[in-house]
Structure 1
Amino acid sequence: MPMATSRSGQQHTRTRSPSWLAVLAALAFTAGCTTPMDARKDRQYQERAPIASRPVVRPVRSVSSFSESLMCMDRMLRAAEVPTTLITSKQFVDFSGKVPAATKEMVVTALSQMSRVSNAFRFVDFEVDIARQDTVQNLTTILLNNNQMQLQRPALYVSGAIAFVDQGVINNSFDAGISGPRVDLGYSQSRNATVVALEVHLGDFRTRTIIPGLDSANEVIVGSGGQGVDLGGRIGEYGVRFNVGRDYAIGTGAALRTLVDLSMIELVGKWARLPYWQCLTLDQSHPQFQRQMHDWYLESGHSGQSQLLRSSLVTRGYLPQDASDRPVTDPLVRDALARFQADRGIPVSGTIDFQTYEAALGNFVSLAEDGSLARVGWAATGTVTTAQTSADGKLPPLQVAAQAPWSIDLQIENPQPAGERPAFTEGEQVFLSATVTRASHLYCYFADSSGGIMRLLPNLLQPHSLVSANQAVRIPDWMAPNPGFILDAGKPGQETVMCLATRDDVLPKLPPSMQGAALAPLRDVGSLEELQQHFDAAAGSAGMVTRSVQWKVAPAAPAPAAAR
């Protein structure tokens, strides 16, 4: 009897459990299908969505390994006084489809960073593909067809493509494990590397031909790897398993930006014939760079004379600022070359040979202990005061002071061909830039062809006269959404812009008639010479420096007669 009771109890227990599970499943199904959900009950939960959707990490500026090198090239282009050049770019093709990135926009950014101070390049943005055109491109096409807009032809264009993407060039994996009655343990590790190559060329837009020698072909390695640990165990009839892993993958977009920055530095350096490898912190004694320097020296007519070399002598204190444009046969330049050669252990000749050319263009940058750029530009050795010719006609040795020279670099930034700037036509916009070698208070005035004078800087939108050293001030600020004023060529004749830099703010010390609003004619000032006299009296012993630039205005061409 006990045996039968036991079996009966067991049988009853086995049949009762499935019935309870069926009842619970039926209740859950009925509640889910017959009772609609009320969204208002989830309001407190949903109110957190706008907060949860916001990023918790601050955005960072997209930089590459050559961001400092781009700024270095900007300074080098400025020292060489490379004129502004119009440039455009083709769309870069990626036949592999493995690197989806806006490479053309990276090219525009690299050129922009190399033109902040030097204004070396201005990108012509025009899209001919109808599928890619936006509102700006559509309006441009309409204005061009109606002759209401002039599209300037670029001189250069950039062409390039993702040459290849070799995935898994090297691949390494390792797996190991151990198993027992109660515990299982496993470990895995993997690593691989992919090679991405970019080839870029510079072409002549007028002839649509690739310029020989102006090319760049570089590769970058994109890697990934991972590690993992598996742990499993059994406790009675139950099992427990853990998995821990960590992985990394270098993004192809950031790697491609590094390739683009490197390629543009190399192309621009070769095109402008500048020692770009100094900005890349490469060994200057490399035979390839030595051959490149020697080729540039021979192409310059065996004289090695260039604006970059004269800028080097000015910055290092061997040549005065106002003598930077003198010919190599000038006694002042020959004396500067002789003293530079003597200091560098070069045979003194007072003329430019390759050894002098190489030494003058070297050491443009200095490196810190961590390999970063500690200094961009040649180290200044002092101020050179202009020597006065003695009674016997000879030039005495130049005197070197302990402070860097103080001067204004004022120049026209309109795209212009090599040689002398042609005259502006009536109504044509004029763009200038002013750079002061020391932190100073900068004032700029415009004199039209009829003798009227007005103040350009400071003005209502640029009220501060204090500017930093070696920072280009655009006149007008064509990069700002609202530049404050537009400088157009006026009536035929000669126009002038003069900038004055003072150590202190002298505007309150000027006559009341000169303290009025900017961009308004000055009534009691008859000439720029009189204006400079007022500044001389206000600046006092602190002194000041001035610089002027002039241009001619030609009459506008008559409009063609309408066809009858």
Structure 2
Amino acid sequence: MNTRASIAAILAMALLLVSCKQPSPTLPVEPPKAQETTYTGALKRFGRLTREFRVGTLRVQTTQVQDETGSSQASGAEIPFDITKMIMSAINSIGGSIVFIPYDPIYIKNQAALNMTTLEGKVKPDVVLNGGITEFDRALESGSSGLDFGGQFGAGKNSPGVDFGKQDRDSVSSITIDLNVTDVETMVMVPRVQAVNTMRVFKAASDLDIGFSIFGATFGYKSSVKKIQGRHAAVRVLVDLSVLETLGKYLNLPYWKCVDQGAKPDPVVMENVREQFALADQQGRVRMIQNLLYVYGYRSLRSTGTLDAETGAAIQAVSAAYGFPAASLDEDFYENLFLNAPVLGEKSRVAGSGAVAAQATAGPALVSRAPAQSTQPGVPLSVQIKTDKAVYKQGEKIRITLSGNKDFYGKIVYVTADGQTVQLLPNGHRSLDFFKGGRSYTVPEDSDGFSLDVAPPYGAERIVLYASESRLPAVKTRSLGETGMLSVEGGAQALKGLSRGIKISEAKPAAPPVPTEAREAAPPMKPQQAPGASAEVVEQSVLITTKAK
């Protein structure tokens, strides 16, 4: 009996000594690393996609985006209150044709007060992203399970015994983010261009207890583990996905390929693509097809709007290589052409096209952006043209901004100090002459192959915009060499004919239908422009002064 008591005393003392030891847990040491989500790579690929489709520069801004549920404060910041910075980082990580414009009026005002900056030269955004965290439902599902076991072996009060217990608990919460796109010029939300995404986050805990008793002494082991999927990390994943989705819808690009080449197409994008093709006139449809054929590798094919032999041969080669019919160049054909476009490093199956789509260079945009409800039947066309400042010095670059309340065709003409008349747009670098209503355009854009640099002679100069709801007649011009600019023969007198109205003749059926000029789809004939009617030409101008340094 004394022996048993001695053993028990020794065990008790050992346990006591162990318990008195100062605990010294070992913590892992990890170097800092870049924060990446499931969609970080997809955002970068989307930037690449905008280049491959030759999208014009899109300037994006965001308002303050916050938790609209109030849960961030009620739950002790379990979810973030303000996610604006996350959205800014997501947009800025895209690159390509996407440019982020910060919104910080207080900073700009303070800088101006210190004479460190002015509003001149500041870039205006095209669209604004707005939204918020709209749902945070905690413990949507919860449950627990456990196992208990205990027993004594032998008879008597000193017989050994064991106790075992295990308890598991789990719960599921849900977070939802809404993002919408607003057109800055009209301050109208772009219909159906939005993202509403939900993510479920899990929480689990497990407890384990084991106890032993020997000769009246009891000792055991206890473990408790809790794992929670990060709410803040989940919000960042939702932000990345939502930014990708909203901008992809706005630009009508196959953004889902940035996530997975085999992903299901977005029905909103596909509906817009089909509708734009259906509404385009015959020439516009052919342009749309020619622009997509560029992605397939036909780099020498020009976007003329004419279904020539080269275009026809390219259509037949692509349809044969990808296995879709080309007997009728209708919406179904264009949808197949759009969906099968080889992008993001995918090689074209067309032999001899000379293409790896990823090698596309900047040029006129291929895609039309989502409509912003700009058509206003019965309202006269009104246009604006302005420059980033009124006085320019030698070597400075001129940036022109133009917009209209309705879709229009336009020519931009520059009257120099010595009376020379130069057609700035369309020119040898940029053939675009169609502009969507309610949008602001910059000439030149960052992706254009030219710039407007101030050079002699100096003095009072004028930039004129001629605009009409139907295509403007051509004027006789001659090339000014590698600049791509065109000198108008006959000067200002030759341009007076533009203001005498334009006759619209009924379109004659040509070859099978086919989709749009890269940047914007040419619109169908409007109801108020019946065949034979006269379309008014609107003239607006802005005066500038140029001088030597």
Normalised-by-shorter TM-score class: 0.5 to 0.7
1:339 corresponds, among 317, 330, 335, to: 317
Answer yes or no: is 1:557 the counterpart of 2:508. Answer: no
1:364 to partner: Cα distance? 4.5
Residue of structure 1 equivalent to 2:437: none
Residue of structure 1 equivalent to 2:12: none
Query: 1:93 and 1:244, CA in 2 relative to 1: closer, same or farther beyond 3 A?
Result: same
In 2, the alpha carbon distance for the partners of 1:430 and 1:223 equals: 55
Corresponding residue SS for 2:33 = coil
Whichever residue aligns with residue 100 of structure 1, its letter is: P
In 2, the alpha carbon distance for the partners of 1:337 and 1:324 equals: 14
Q: Deviations over 1:378-433 (max 9, x none)?
A: 423467xxxxxxxxxxxxxxxx27786998846699xxx999x99996554489xx
Answer yes or no: is 1:213 the counterpart of 2:192. Answer: yes
Q: Following superposition of structure 1 onto structure 2, how do residues 473-492 of structure 1 map, counting pairs within 5 Å?
A: 489-492=453-456
Query: 1:289 and 1:154, CA in 2 relative to 1: closer, same or farther beyond 3 A?
Result: closer
Query: 1:555 and 1:170, CA in 2 relative to 1: closer, same or farther beyond 3 A?
Result: closer
The answer to whether the 8 Å contact 2:141/2:172 transfers is yes
Residue of structure 2 equivalent to 1:224: 203
Answer yes or no: is 1:156 the counterpart of 2:127. Answer: yes
1:303 to partner: Cα distance? 7.3
Whichever residue aligns with residue 307 of structure 2, its letter is: T
The answer to whether the 8 Å contact 1:337/1:352 transfers is no
1:78 to partner: Cα distance? 1.2
In 2, the alpha carbon distance for the partners of 1:266 and 1:141 equals: 39
2:92 corresponds, among 112, 122, 146, to: 112
Residue of structure 2 equivalent to 1:322: 300
Whichever residue aligns with residue 96 of structure 1, its letter is: S
1:193 to partner: Cα distance? 0.9
1:85 to partner: Cα distance? 2.2
In 2, the alpha carbon distance for the partners of 1:209 and 1:381 equals: 42
Q: How many residues align?
A: 362
In 1, the alpha carbon distance for the partners of 2:113 and 2:329 equals: 51
In 2, the alpha carbon distance for the partners of 1:405 and 1:173 equals: 53
Q: Deviations over 1:459-492 (max 9, x none)?
A: xxxxxxxxxxxxxxxxxxx9xxxxxxxx982315
In 2, the alpha carbon distance for the partners of 1:143 and 1:65 equals: 44
In 2, the alpha carbon distance for the partners of 1:228 and 1:215 equals: 44
1:332 to partner: Cα distance? 2.2
1:77 corresponds, among 38, 45, 50, to: 50
Residue of structure 2 equivalent to 1:380: 348
1:154 to partner: Cα distance? 1.5
Corresponding residue SS for 2:300 = helix
1:557 to partner: Cα distance? 2.2
1:274 to partner: Cα distance? 1.6
Answer yes or no: is 1:355 the counterpart of 2:326. Answer: no
Q: Following superposition of structure 1 onto structure 2, how do residues 495-506 of structure 1 map, counting pairs within 5 Å?
A: none
2:232 corresponds, among 253, 261, 264, to: 253
Q: Deviations over 1:429-476 (max 9, x none)?
A: 489xxxxxxxxxxxxxxxxxxxxxxxxxxxxxxxxxxxxxxxxxxxxx
Q: Following superposition of structure 1 onto structure 2, how do residues 22-171 of structure 1 map, counting pairs within 5 Å?
A: 56-94=29-67, 95-97=70-72, 98-100=78-80, 103-115=83-95, 118=96, 120-128=97-105, 138-140=110-112, 142-143=114-115, 147=118, 149-171=120-142
1:192 corresponds, among 167, 171, 182, to: 171
Query: 1:291 and 1:207, CA in 2 relative to 1: closer, same or farther beyond 3 A?
Result: closer
Corresponding residue SS for 1:183 = strand
The answer to whether the 8 Å contact 1:303/1:352 transfers is no
Whichever residue aligns with residue 183 of structure 2, its letter is: D
In 2, the alpha carbon distance for the partners of 1:422 and 1:76 equals: 31
Whichever residue aligns with residue 139 of structure 1, its letter is: Q
The answer to whether the 8 Å contact 1:70/1:113 transfers is yes
The answer to whether the 8 Å contact 1:80/1:307 transfers is no
1:217 to partner: Cα distance? 0.5
Q: Deviations over 1:154-194 (max 9, x none)?
A: 22100010011000001111133223453321101111111
Percent identity between the two aligned chains:
19
Residue of structure 1 equivalent to 2:426: none
Ranges in structure 1 where 5+ consecutive residues have no aligned partner: 1-51, 366-374, 384-399, 432-477, 479-486, 494-527, 530-547, 560-564
Whichever residue aligns with residue 159 of structure 1, its letter is: N
Query: 1:429 and 1:103, CA in 2 relative to 1: closer, same or farther beyond 3 A?
Result: farther
The structure that has the greater radius of gyration is 1
Query: 1:243 and 1:292, CA in 2 relative to 1: closer, same or farther beyond 3 A?
Result: farther
In 2, the alpha carbon distance for the partners of 1:66 and 1:307 equals: 33
**Alignment RMSD:** 4.4
Which has the bigger relative contact order, CA under 8 A and spacing at least 6? 2
1:328 to partner: Cα distance? 3.9
Ranges in structure 2 where 5+ consecutive residues have no aligned partner: 1-25, 73-77, 153-160, 372-382, 400-445, 458-479, 488-540
The answer to whether the 8 Å contact 1:184/1:233 transfers is yes
User: Which is helix-richer, 1 or 2?
Assistant: 1
The answer to whether the 8 Å contact 2:287/2:305 transfers is no
- Scaled by the length of structure 2, what TM-score is found? 0.56
Corresponding residue SS for 1:322 = coil
2:218 corresponds, among 231, 235, 239, to: 239
In 2, the alpha carbon distance for the partners of 1:402 and 1:81 equals: 18
1:306 to partner: Cα distance? 8.4
Whichever residue aligns with residue 158 of structure 1, its letter is: L
Whichever residue aligns with residue 348 of structure 2, its letter is: A
Q: Following superposition of structure 1 onto structure 2, how do residues 358-507 of structure 1 map, counting pairs within 5 Å?
A: 358-364=335-341, 376-381=344-349, 400=352, 409=361, 426=393, 427-429=395-397, 489-492=453-456
Q: Following superposition of structure 1 onto structure 2, how do residues 526-545 of structure 1 map, counting pairs within 5 Å?
A: none
In 2, the alpha carbon distance for the partners of 1:306 and 1:251 equals: 51
Query: 1:166 and 1:306, CA in 2 relative to 1: closer, same or farther beyond 3 A?
Result: farther
Query: 1:356 and 1:113, CA in 2 relative to 1: closer, same or farther beyond 3 A?
Result: farther
